[in-house]
A and B are shown apart, each in its own frame.
Chain A
Amino acid sequence: MKFWDDQKNREKVYQLLALLAVIGLGLFFYSNTKANLEKQNIATGFSFFDQVAGFEISESLIEYNSEDSYLQALVVGVLNTLKIAIIGNVLAVFLGIFIGVCRLSKNWPLAKLAQGYVEIIRNIPLLLQLFFWYAMFTEIFPGVRQALTPMPGVFLSNRGIMFPSLEYSPVYLYMGVAFFLTMIFGYFLRRYAKKIQDQTGKQIPYVLYILGPLVILPLLIWFIGGSPLTLHLPKLQGFNFTGGISVSPEFLSLLMGLVLYTSAFIAEIVRSGIQSVQKGQEEAAEALGLKSYLVLTLVILPQALRVIIPPLTSQLLNLTKNSSLAVAIAYPDFVNIANTTMNQTGQAIELISLIILVYLTFSLLTSLFMNWFNKKMALVER
């Protein structure tokens, strides 16, 4: 048989040609850009990374000041994006599940309320909602000197919320260790309880056994350690509060906007997931005499999760990507800081590529985790 007569060979040749064309196009873009930039005397490359950034950032998870490098500034931005993405995703999932379950409630007003929430939130552009929450913050809360104090040590103003912070003591570390060890003990207890149940059918209420030590042990250590409790209270000094922990209105309004918006979508996903489980399953489980929460956790949810997880993944990705709207309301996320860097160094192509790369990495990591979770939850076929 001749080479061309085999369909597989032909396909391979076409694929090779297509690949070469893509690579060629990429190389053409690259060399063309490079030549153009050189012609116009525009500096290229990432050598600006270790230059002094020179600008301040309003909130940072790590030490940063204007004498640090651009790289450090960009890391601050990445961490700020991660902060909003992680907290936002966790809250959005919980709120979404809650609203989704409410929508299916037999309680008519509750179900309608949840439906109204979903329809309103889902149909307003996110950026508009962000402006709305930000405006609410600056409009409703008083100026910093007339700050509200709902509890002693807690201040509410249009500069954000200020909490007292705890002064660090090594006792806290031991408390954490105790908590962690109890959790590990709990994990083994759970395995043991399962084994017993499999063998004898007897149930051990292991959750109850572990809850007590989980609270009491760290408290005990705290007492033994001399019950250290030194609070740093926020104090009004000049224009702003100093001391304590402050949460900025930019962070809060971004978080609120992202969580509410995404939770409306998640609620619909959860609802569709639960409804995808046939009614017969529920009825069969009830007929076996399972309690209603067991029906939900053992029969309905494991099957519903298979439908829920894939679209949920894209909602989690959406929230992370949408967090780049932060620049509109002054939250110093990665895009915000990359923009400032772009303006000061003029390295537009490098920084846009970097932005693409960072969001791509976030998204791929999230996908990877969710795919793993999906596999774990998928129907195990024997």
Chain B
Amino acid sequence: MENQATFGDILVKILIVMVLLTSSTVFSVVKTSTLENIKLHKVLKCGVSAGLAGFSAPNSKGKWQGLDVDICRAIAAAVFGDVNKVQYIALSAQQRFVALQSGEIDVLSRNSTFTLTRDTSLGLNFAPVVYYDGQGFMVKRKDRVSKISDLNGASICIQQGTTTELNLADYFRANNLKFKPVVFENNDEVTQAFVKGRCDALTTDISGLAAEKSKFKNPDNYVILTEIISKEPLAPVVRHGDDSWFDVVKYVIYALITAEEFGITSQNIDSFFKTKNPKIKRFLGITKGNGKALGLDEKWAYNIVKMVGNYHEIFERNVGKQSSLKLERGVNALWKNGGLHYSPPFK
């Protein structure tokens, strides 16, 4: 399997460059708006991770699941009123931005960190953050490592194509610590190398560590250190230059947060039709206007919550208490509850 994946990777890279070189697609995508294009083809092309438990991974029935996948589904619900009109394109950390730049996908929902360079010189726009993460370390319990400075001189396994390599080098340099990087292209090899003892520590975003740990045979033999060395705001990404499509993606995410603020869930949403609250009336499209402004159906927000749920439901189902990752809401709580998620008003 691995073997094909890597050959495929190289092939895809070459293809993507070819597409960029010829890129009649880019012209067509830029000329007609992304939203029109999606409606025309009746499918949303969503770039996701090939396998990160809790964020995007196919389940036992081959259906894509996870927080990132639910963002794709929410966008499809807003555009088509149908969560199944999504074509998931699994991308490696390496391929993701090129795939977006070249017009292979419409939106990238693949635990990507929002950074200045990516936002500017890569020609991308970051939608609101869907998960506030930070880079951490997993070590073996028997090594008795309790803080990062204990890792001086250690070999550390990393996956290529992420912000992780840079964060790690920066942190260790700033704290006068030494380490040996062991850099793999593929996530499975990274984890294998760590489990087999090639490395003393595994580093990636805390959510990623929790996802890997949940898959181990003896999760209790491993510890995730509490220290966090970086800010990793994970956000969906769209291309520069199509602001109305950017708006759609932005407000789909805000709708998830707003729904949680109002206490609207996929279960109780129909009971809100009798509400007198003008804010909720606007949100659900009973008072018209929001849909037209975005170029969507007036029931777009209703469809999102009804079909996918609000942010709380998405979080708990994929990475929270109802999942194997068991992550706390922490900074990912609503602003009212001491977290960072905050939506501008829907008016």
Contact = CB atoms under 8 A, between A and B. Distances in A.
A142 to B, nearest CB: 8
Interface string A351-380: 010000000000000000000000000000
Nearest to B157: A330
A237 B178 CA distance: 12
A128 B5 CA distance: 12
Contacts of B184: 327-330
Kindly name the residue among B14, B152, B153, B162 whose own CB sees the greatest number of chain A CB atoms within 10 A.
Answer: B153
Interface stretch (A93-101, A111-119, A338-346): A338-346
A15 B88 CA distance: 47
Contacts of B197: 138, 143-144, 158
B169 A327 contact: no
Contacts of B23: 32-33, 36
- The secondary-structure label for the interface of chain A is helix
B98 interface: yes
A336 interface: yes
B13 to A, nearest CB: 7
Contacts of A131: 2-3
Given A58-B181, A339-B185, A346 B198 contact: no
Interface stretch (B118-126, B256-264, B271-279): B118-126
A201 interface: no
Contacts of B180: 56, 58, 240
A127 B7 contact: yes
Contact of B170 (A29, A32, A36, A54): A54
A329 B153 contact: no
B179 interface: yes
Residue of A158, A340, A352 contacting most chain B CB atoms (<10 Å) = A340
Given A138-B193, A327-B185, A336-B160, A343 B7 contact: no
Nearest to B182: A330
B131 to A, nearest CB: 20
Interface in B193-245: 193, 196-198, 200, 239-241
A36 B30 CA distance: 9
B27 A36 contact: yes
A66 interface: yes
Given A57-B181, A66-B169, A327-B185, A33 B21 contact: yes
A340 B153 contact: no
A7 interface: no
B20 A55 contact: no
Contacts of A329: 184, 189
Contacts of A42: 101, 121-123
Interface residues of B, number: 59
Given A138-B196, A346-B97, A55 B169 contact: yes
Contact of A330 (B3, B151, B154, B193): B193
B93 interface: yes
A159 B198 contact: yes
Contacts of A349: 17, 20-21
A33 B20 contact: yes
Interface in A290-336: 325, 327-330, 332, 336
B3 A125 contact: yes
Question: For this complex, into which size category does the number of interface residues on chain A fall?
Answer: 35 or more
A184 to B, nearest CB: 42
A5 interface: no
A245 B20 CA distance: 45
A143 B143 CA distance: 12
B36 to A, nearest CB: 18
Given A131-B2, A329-B184, A342 B94 contact: yes
Nearest to B93: A343
Contacts of A257: none
B166 interface: yes
B275 to A, nearest CB: 43
A238 interface: yes
Contacts of B155: 159, 239-240
A128 B26 CA distance: 37
Interface in A216-265: 237-240, 242, 249-250
A237 B154 CA distance: 10
A153 B30 CA distance: 64
A42 B121 CA distance: 5
B323 interface: no
B59 interface: no
Contacts of B170: 54, 66
B160 A340 contact: yes
Interface string A1-39: 000000000000000000000000000010011001101
Contacts of B118: 346
B165 interface: yes
A55 B181 contact: yes
Contacts of B162: 343
B186 interface: yes
Interface in A147-179: 158-159
Nearest to A48: B121
Contacts of A283: none
Contacts of B296: none
Contacts of B60: none
A340 B97 CA distance: 13
A332 B153 contact: no
Interface of A: 29, 32-33, 36-37, 39-43, 54-58, 65-67, 125, 127-128, 131, 135, 138-139, 143-144, 158-159, 237-240, 242, 249-250, 325, 327-330, 332, 336, 339-340, 342-346, 348-349, 352
17 contacts: A42-B122, A42-B123, A43-B121, A54-B170, A55-B169, A58-B183, A66-B169, A131-B2, A158-B197, A158-B198, A239-B151, A336-B185, A339-B161, A345-B121, A346-B118, A348-B17, A349-B17
